[in-house]
C-alpha cells in the first residue's frame, strides 16, 4: 500500500501564521502536524509516500522532509499548486499510485491511535474504498454520512445545511485505483472544487464495495487556532515526562513535563505540566509556564506567565503579563515596557512579529 499526504490549502483561518508557511508545518507539542501523519503511516507499514504540495511555501515542506530518509520513509513530491479540491489533489497521484491500493491522509489531521489496524483491515478485505468517520457536534462543517436503517452507507454529503447524521468524514480515506475513474467524471462543485465526497458517491452508485469505520478515540481537524490549541492539549495529555536539560531546582517541575537537551530552567521558575520545553531554551527565574503549553527550541522566556499556548522556535518573551490561549510564530518578540500593568493577553502572531506592550 502507498500513502498520500495532502499538504495544500490556503489556511485562511490560520492567518497570519500561514502567511509564511503551510498550516501543516505548524507544531503541536513541538512537532509539525503533518509529521504525526507521516509517523502514523510509517508505523502502519506504509513507507512509500507522496506529499501533494500546495502553493504556500512548498519549498519549506521539501526542506523539512527532504527525501524522507531521516524519517524512515521514501517521499515523492507532487505539485498541486492552486487548490481545487481534495479529489483534484488525489487525481494528481494516479501515475504515482499505479495499480496499488493507497491511503489518503490530510496533512492537518490528527488521530489518536493511528491507522495501523485500519491498514491491515483494508488490505485483508475485498473493499474498493473505506472511509473513516467520527461523531461530531457540528456535522454541517464537514462531509457527512447518510445510512440506511441497517447501518449501510448510502450517501456522503459535503457540508449539508441539514446533516442526515452526526458522523463526519475525517481526512483519512482508503482507495483502490478505480477511484481515479470516478474523479475523472467529476465537475466542480458550488465551491469550485472537485469534491472527494462526490467521487466516493460515484463509487457507491456504481456498486463498488465502500466500507466505513468509526473513530474510537479522538480526531482533530486542525483548521483553526482553537483546533490547534485543542490538539496541543490532547497530545500533551499523553505526554511522557522526560528531562534532558538542566533544572536548577527540582521544585520547579510539577506534573508531566518534557524538557529538551541544553535547555535550562532557572531556580524559582515553575513549569506545571502537562507541558513541553524544546532544546536550547532558557526559562528564567520567576517565570510561570502553565499546563498545556508547548515551548519550542532556542526560546528565551525572561519574564511572565504562559498557559494553554504554543510558543514556536526562536521567540523571546519578556513581559509583566499573562499570555493565554495563544499561538506565537517563530522568531517573534513580546516585550513589556517597565511601567506596563499586568493583565491577560491572547495572541495569534505571525512569524517575526515584534510587540512592545
Per-residue 3-state assignment (H helix, E strand, C coil) for 122-146: HHHCCCCEEEEEEECCCHHHCEEEE
Q: Please report, for residues 3, 37, 141, 329, 341, the alpha-carbon distance to residue 25 in angstroms, rounded to integers and kept in the order given.
A: 18, 11, 23, 11, 35
**For residue 180, what is the DSSP state?**
H
Where do you find CATH 2.160.10.10 in the chain? 242-356
Residue 342: what pLDDT? 54
Residue 304: what pLDDT? 93
CATH of range 2-236; options 3.10.450.50, 3.90.550.10, 3.40.50.720, 3.40.50.740: 3.90.550.10
Cα 201 from Cα 154, distance rounded (Å): 8
Cα 183 from Cα 185, distance rounded (Å): 5
Where do you find CATH 3.90.550.10 in the chain? 2-236
In order along its 357 residues, the chain shows pLDDT tens digits of: 999 999 977 667 777 777 777 889 999 999 999 999 999 999 999 999 999 998 888 899 999 999 999 999 999 999 987 778 899 999 999 999 999 999 999 999 999 888 999 999 999 999 999 999 999 888 888 889 999 888 889 888 888 889 899 999 998 999 999 999 999 999 888 777 888 989 999 999 999 999 999 988 888 888 788 989 999 999 999 999 999 999 999 889 999 999 999 999 999 999 999 999 999 999 999 999 999 999 999 999 999 999 999 999 999 999 988 999 999 999 999 988 766 555 566 677 677 776 666
pTM: 0.89
Angle at 180 between CA 73 and CA 220, to 5 degrees: 55
CB burial string 302-314: b at 16+ within 10 A, e below:
bbbbbbbbbbbbb
What is 242-356's CATH superfamily? Answer: Hexapeptide repeat proteins (2.160.10.10)
Residue 181: what pLDDT? 95
Block residue for cell numbers 483561518: 13
Contacts of 148 (CB under 8 A, 6+ apart): 154
Residue 354: what pLDDT? 67
Residue 321: what pLDDT? 87
Amino acid at each position: 500500500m502507498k500513502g498520500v499526504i495532502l499538504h495544500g490549502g490556503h489556511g485562511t483561518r490560520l492567518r497570519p501564521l500561514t502567511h509564511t508557511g503551510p498550516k501543516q508545518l505548524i507544531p503541536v507539542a513541538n512537532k509539525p502536524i503533518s509529521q504525526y501523519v507521516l509517523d502514523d503511516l510509517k508505523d502502519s507499514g506504509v513507507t512509500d509516500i507522496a506529499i501533494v504540495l500546495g502553493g504556500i511555501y512548498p519549498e519549506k515542506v521539501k526542506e523539512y522532509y527532504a527525501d524522507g530518509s531521516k524519517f524512515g520513509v521514501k517521499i515523492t513530491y507532487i505539485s498541486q499548486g492552486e487548490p481545487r479540491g481534495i479529489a483534484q489533489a488525489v487525481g494528481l497521484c494516479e501515475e504515482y499510485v499505479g495499480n496499488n491500493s493507497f491511503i489518503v491522509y490530510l496533512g492537518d489531521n490528527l488521530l489518536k491511535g493511528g491507522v495501523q489496524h485500519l491498514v491491515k483491515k483494508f488490505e485483508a478485505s475485498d473493499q474498493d474504498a473505506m472511509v473513516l468517520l467520527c461523531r461530531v457536534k457540528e456535522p454541517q462543517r464537514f462531509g457527512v454520512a447518510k445510512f440506511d436503517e441497517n447501518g449501510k452507507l448510502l450517501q456522503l454529503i459535503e457540508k449539508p445545511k441539514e446533516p442526515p447524521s452526526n458522523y463526519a468524514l475525517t481526512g483519512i480515506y482508503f482507495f483502490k485505483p478505480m477511484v481515479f475513474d470516478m474523479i475523472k467524471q467529476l465537475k466542480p462543485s458550488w465551491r469550485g472544487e472537485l469534491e472527494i465526497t462526490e467521487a466516493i458517491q460515484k463509487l457507491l452508485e456504481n456498486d463498488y464495495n465502500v466500507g466505513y469505520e468509526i473513530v474510537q478515540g479522538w480526531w482533530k481537524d486542525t483548521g483553526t487556532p482553537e483546533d490547534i490549541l485543542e490538539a496541543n492539549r490532547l497530545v500533551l495529555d499523553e505526554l511522557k515526562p522526560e528531562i534532558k536539560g538542566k533544572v536548577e531546582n527540582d521544585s520547579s517541575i510539577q506534573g508531566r513535563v518534557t524538557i529538551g537537551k541544553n535547555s535550562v530552567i532557572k531556580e524559582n521558575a515553575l513549569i506545571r505540566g502537562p507541558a513541553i520545553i524544546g532544546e536550547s531554551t532558557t526559562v528564567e527565574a520567576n517565570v510561570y509556564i502553565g499546563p498545556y503549553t508547548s515551548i519550542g527550541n532556542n526560546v528565551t522566556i525572561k519574564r511572565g506567565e504562559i498557559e494553554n499556548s504554543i510558543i514556536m522556535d526562536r521567540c523571546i518573551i519578556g513581559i509583566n503579563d499573562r499570555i493565554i490561549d495563544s499561538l506565537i510564530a517563530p522568531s517573534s518578540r513580546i516585550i513589556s515596557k517597565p511601567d506596563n500593568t499586568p493583565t491577560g493577553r491572547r495572541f495569534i502572531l505571525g512569524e517575526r512579529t515584534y510587540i512592545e506592550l
